[in-house]
Amino acid sequence: MRVDYGYFEEDQLGKPYDVRLLRRLFTYVRPYKFLFLLSIGLVTAITVFDLALPYLTKIAIDRYIVQDIQNDKPGVSEQRRFYESDLRKPRVERVVSRYPSLFEVQQPYARILYEDLSKLDKADLEDLRAGDYVGVACIALVFVAVVICHFVFSFGHVIIMEYGAQSIIHDLRLKLFKHIQDLSVAFFTRNPVGRLVTRVTSDVQNLHEFFTSIITVVFKDIFLLLGITVVLLVMNWRLALICFLMLPVIFLATAHFSRLARDAFRELRVKIAQINATLQETISGIRIIQLFLQEARNYERFRKLNHENYLAGMRQINIFAVFMPVIELLGSITTALVIWYGGLHVLSESLSLGGLVAFISYMRMFFRPVRDIAEKYNIMQSAMASSERIFLLFDSQERIPEPKIPSRTPDVREQEVFRASDGGRLRGDKWATVCFDKVWFSYVGKEWVLKNISFTVRQGENVAIVGPTGAGKSSLLHLLERFYDPTKGSIRLGGTDIRQVPKALLRAHMALITQDVFLFADTIRNNITEGNQQIPPERLQQIVAACNLDRLIQGLPHGLDTVLTEGGRNLSSGERQLVAFARGLARDPEILILDEATSSVDTETERLIQEATVRVMRNRTAIVVAHRLSTIRHADRIIVLHRGRIREVGSHDELIARHGLYYELYQWQRVS
């Protein structure tokens, strides 16, 4: 027997096709493209503001703080720096007249050596440089205005991006939830709940930062890089080339570390999903764990898994612990080169001090988007790892197919049932006959669970199916409910192959009551009516009375509006069975299916359920899988299954008289 112990998350994904994943992710961006276009517009404005700030600093230094006026007298080789003033200003003229020996007058300007400025009185120096004070103040005001505009635009950008990202995550999670609901039961038998919860919660949430931090930030970084590149080349192309020397090394390092980071994030996502699955399994089976004293063993298993998750997380951290300092180191080396080369040019008077300061600011800004892009690989790789898992789940198409071409046009009432979401039902005698025609079924390969099963249940007939464990009784019911499709043969409902009937319409005619009753964490009323508000209160009271639930309801503080805990655990197993009978009766089905519904209850509860069963089965086609043979003695027919085949068919008395397999099972239960 071949068993696939791996889950679909564990499949080898091979080469990461980031472009393909991004293309699929961007299909969810399309409905909000105008928001992202607006955000890109804001990012463009923010980039312009970023580029303006260092240039304002350059203007302030070169024009107002340290003027770049050099000695231009012919025959004088010594380079001396001068401060130049406009004699047309009265205050400047007064200062020059007081210190004629310190100034060189060349109408309409007068200039003084920078080292001689200290020889002026403080008041005279302020008069001489009054224009510089005003200029610096104006530059400062413009600087503040640019910063305020930068803040406003950044605020708008964040709000728009958060709204867009939250909307995308909202849509993606809904679509994923709907997709999971449509998958077949076979899918859920192979994939633990914790893994699926991880896909819908943390993996989807991982994409939030991708949409907020990656999409428009990429545009911003590209715009900023292009803008800075142009400015640097215009200011000093030789100095700009020094900044670009490290780019090939940075790109090679980024490519190498991105591959390592992708593998680390893949492993981390798998470990997180395994932890969630183990935690869910532990909580669900806590009674068994405590009963069989498995706390230590289960703890050790979780400790090992948690340690593997820790190691995976540390591998991811180690990658970025090396990667980010490497980027910082390369940026620092480039800064040192610019300071050395640019400083030489300042000393040789071929570059102004303000130009060097602005150049260093632009260069550091140049490495900021490079560093940001490097940091975004953390988010990018996490998002890619999560999106791989999400789209792997989306790509899983294990679902029971709907009929492509209806075998007939449903009548008006059937169409209403098909469209209904409240579990409505439909009365029609032609739907109450069930026929299994040479049905073969296997869960895996050719390991047949059912072999050549053929029988017919007529309208209003009560048929019981019995047999030892593993005979295929529950599998037969799963086929009737279309949780699975037959491997060979067909099942017909009223002469129509159930594969040609929409699943919603098919299941609207049936009610299934199993031995493992599942109740939702909701009121008893909603668990019975399944949210159908069209059931009148009088009808609901009749259902409660028919299922012997009235005594339970009367003893509860809020009656039918009592809220149950998860799985209905605040009720006994027998009480949950009675609620399940009421839920089935509220649907008013033509076909009632009972799967060992009394196998786990006490004698008194069994009597109540038997009374409810008689009422529920009245005038309905019933198929009952029974473990206690005493409960099906009055069935119209009993079908005995053994190893997937029909061994005997007949009434209770007929089968007892044959002394066959049914007789042996009955005698064994009587003795036990």
Q: Say yes or no: 363 and 475 in one domain.
A: no
Spatial distance between the Cα atoms of 310 and 327, rounded to a whole number of angstroms: 26
Has residue 87 been placed in a domain?
no
Q: Say yes or no: 229 and 291 in one domain.
A: yes
pLDDT given for residue 405 in this prediction? 54
Q: Which of 395, 416, 451 is the last residue of a domain?
A: 395
Q: Say yes or no: 450 and 376 in one domain.
A: no
* Structural tokens at position 332: 């620092």
β strands within 479-604, DSSP E:
488-493, 496-497, 510-514, 591-595
pLDDT confidence bin for 441, thresholds 50/70/90? very high
Q: Say yes or no: 374 and 515 in one domain.
A: no
Has residue 421 been placed in a domain?
no
| pLDDT at residue 606 greater than cutoff 60 | yes
Tokens 């939702």 belong to which residue?
Answer: 520
| pLDDT at residue 476 greater than cutoff 50 | yes
Has residue 122 been placed in a domain?
no
pLDDT given for residue 210 in this prediction? 81
| pLDDT at residue 41 greater than cutoff 80 | yes
pLDDT confidence bin for 649, thresholds 50/70/90? very high
* CATH number of the domain enclosing 502: 3.40.50.300
Q: Say yes or no: 436 and 327 in one domain.
A: no
Spatial distance between the Cα atoms of 638 and 659, rounded to a whole number of angstroms: 14
Has residue 109 been placed in a domain?
no
Has residue 415 been placed in a domain?
no
pLDDT given for residue 641 in this prediction? 92
Has residue 413 been placed in a domain?
no
| In contact, 502 and 401? CB cutoff 8 Å | no
Q: Say yes or no: 370 and 455 in one domain.
A: no
* C-beta neighbour count of 229 within 10 angstroms: 15
* Structural tokens at position 575: 């009480």
**Identity at 417, one-letter amino acid code:** V
State which residues form the domain around 171: 8-63+133-395
Highest mean pLDDT among 45-49, 316-320, 506-510 belongs to: 45-49
Calculate mean pLDDT across residues 420-433: 49
pLDDT confidence bin for 550, thresholds 50/70/90? confident
pLDDT confidence bin for 646, thresholds 50/70/90? very high
Calculate mean pLDDT across residues 315-328: 79
pLDDT tens digit sequence for 286-305: 777 876 777 888 888 889 98
Q: Is 346 exposed, middle or buried (0-12, 13-18, 19+ CB in 10 A)?
A: middle
Q: Say yes or no: 371 and 443 in one domain.
A: no
| pLDDT at residue 386 greater than cutoff 90 | no
- Distances in Å between the Cα of 624 and the Cα atoms of 477, 490, 495, 597 are 9, 20, 21, 9
Q: Say yes or no: 348 and 497 in one domain.
A: no
Calculate mean pLDDT across residues 255-266: 74
pLDDT given for residue 97 in this prediction? 83
Three-class SS state of 361: helix
pLDDT given for residue 216 in this prediction? 67
pLDDT given for residue 420 in this prediction? 40
- Distances in Å between the Cα of 484 and the Cα atoms of 145, 437, 473, 642, 645 are 68, 16, 14, 20, 18
* Structural tokens at position 352: 């102004």
- Percentage above 90 pLDDT, the chain: 7
Q: Is 393 exposed, middle or buried (0-12, 13-18, 19+ CB in 10 A)?
A: buried
pLDDT tens digit sequence for 183-232: 888 888 777 777 788 788 888 888 887 887 776 677 777 788 888 888 87
* CATH number of the domain enclosing 233: 1.20.1560.10
Number of domains in the chain: 2
- Percentage above 70 pLDDT, the chain: 86
* C-beta neighbour count of 75 within 10 angstroms: 4
pLDDT tens digit sequence for 66-120: 765 555 454 444 556 777 787 888 888 888 888 888 888 888 888 888 777 778 8
Calculate mean pLDDT across residues 630-647: 87
Q: Say yes or no: 391 and 431 in one domain.
A: no
pLDDT confidence bin for 427, thresholds 50/70/90? very low
Give the distance between the most distant pair of CA atoms in the chain. 140
What average pLDDT does the structure give for the chain? 79
**Identity at 499, one-letter amino acid code:** R
Highest mean pLDDT among 264-268, 524-528, 631-635 belongs to: 524-528
pLDDT confidence bin for 145, thresholds 50/70/90? very high
| Residue predicted with more confidence, 159 or 400 | 159
Has residue 125 been placed in a domain?
no
Q: Which of 34-48, 496-510, 556-570 has the lowest mean pLDDT?
A: 556-570
What is the DSSP-derived secondary structure letter of residue 563?
Answer: B
| pLDDT at residue 3 greater than cutoff 70 | no
pLDDT given for residue 637 in this prediction? 92
| In contact, 13 and 388? CB cutoff 8 Å | yes
What is the DSSP-derived secondary structure letter of residue 559?
Answer: G
Has residue 85 been placed in a domain?
no
- Stretch (H or E) spanning 442: strand 434-442
pLDDT given for residue 375 in this prediction? 66
Spatial distance between the Cα atoms of 160 and 46, rounded to a whole number of angstroms: 14
Full DSSP string of 68-122: -EE---TT--S--EEEEEETTSHHHHHHHHH-TTTEEEETTEEEEEGGGGGGS-H
Q: Which of 376, 395, 414 is the last residue of a domain?
A: 395
CA count, 13 A, side-chain hemisphere, 83? 20
Strand 81-86 to 69-70 pairing: antiparallel
| pLDDT at residue 425 greater than cutoff 50 | no
pLDDT given for residue 68 in this prediction? 53
Q: Say yes or no: 287 and 328 in one domain.
A: yes
Spatial distance between the Cα atoms of 101 and 103, rounded to a whole number of angstroms: 6
Calculate mean pLDDT across residues 425-451: 78
* C-beta neighbour count of 398 within 10 angstroms: 14
pLDDT given for residue 327 in this prediction? 75
Please list the residues that pair with 462 across neighbouring strands. Answer: 622
Spatial distance between the Cα atoms of 452 and 454, rounded to a whole number of angstroms: 6
Find the radius of gyration of the CA atoms of the chain: 40
Q: Say yes or no: 381 and 444 in one domain.
A: no
Q: Say yes or no: 611 and 549 in one domain.
A: yes
pLDDT given for residue 378 in this prediction? 65
pLDDT given for residue 436 in this prediction? 93
Q: Which of 395, 410, 439 is the last residue of a domain?
A: 395
pLDDT confidence bin for 18, thresholds 50/70/90? low
- Angle (CA) 462 464 466, round 5°: 180
| Residue predicted with more confidence, 264 or 426 | 264
Full DSSP string of 372-431: HHHHHHHHHHHHHHHHHHHHHHHH----PPPPSS-SS---HHHHHHHH-SS------GGG
